[in-house]
Amino acid sequence: MTNIANRVRSVNWQQVVVIIMIAMVAVSFDACKSSGKLARKEKKAQIALYKKQMREIIDGTTKLTIEEQDQLISEAINKNFGDDELNQLILEASERSKSSYAEFNKLLEQKVAVARNKLYDLIVNKENLSADELEQELNMIKEENLENGEIDELIGRLEKKINDMRQFSSVEMTLKSKLESSFQTIADASKAGNLSMANSLIESTLNYFTAPDIPVLIVISREGSIVDYDKPTTIMDYLNFVKDQKENRNTVDSYQLDTAGKIKELDLIKK
Report how far residue 142's alpha carbon sits from residue 127's, in angstroms, rounded to the nearest whole number.
Answer: 20
Q: Does residue 2 surpass a pLDDT of 50?
A: no
Residue 53 in domain: no
* Total domains in the fold of the chain: 1
Q: What is the mean pLDDT of residues 84-90?
A: 91
For the chain, what percentages of helix, strand and coil (3-state, to nearest 5) are there?
70, 10, 20
Residue 221 in domain: yes
Nearest 5 degrees, angle CA 214-CA 186-CA 208? 35
The 10s digit of each residue's pLDDT in 45-86 is 898 998 999 999 899 899 988 889 989 999 988 988 888 999
Q: Does residue 18 surpass a pLDDT of 90?
A: no
Residue 220 in domain: yes
Residue 80 in domain: no
Residue 136 in domain: no
Q: Cα–Cα distances in Å, from 77 out to 39, 151, 212, 229? A: 19, 37, 85, 82
Split at pLDDT 50, 70, 90, the class of 35 is low
Domain that holds residue 224: 194-270
The 10s digit of each residue's pLDDT in 234-262 is 999 999 999 999 999 999 998 999 888 89
Report how far residue 255's alpha carbon sits from residue 265's, in angstroms, rounded to the nearest whole number.
Answer: 5
Residue 70 in domain: no
User: Within 13 A of 89's CA, how many CA atoms are on the CB side?
Assistant: 22
Q: Does residue 178 surpass a pLDDT of 80?
A: yes
Nearest 5 degrees, angle CA 94-CA 68-CA 49? 70
Split at pLDDT 50, 70, 90, the class of 173 is low
pTM over 0.85: no
Residue 245 in domain: yes
Higher confidence at residue 23 or residue 160?
160
Residue 139 in domain: no
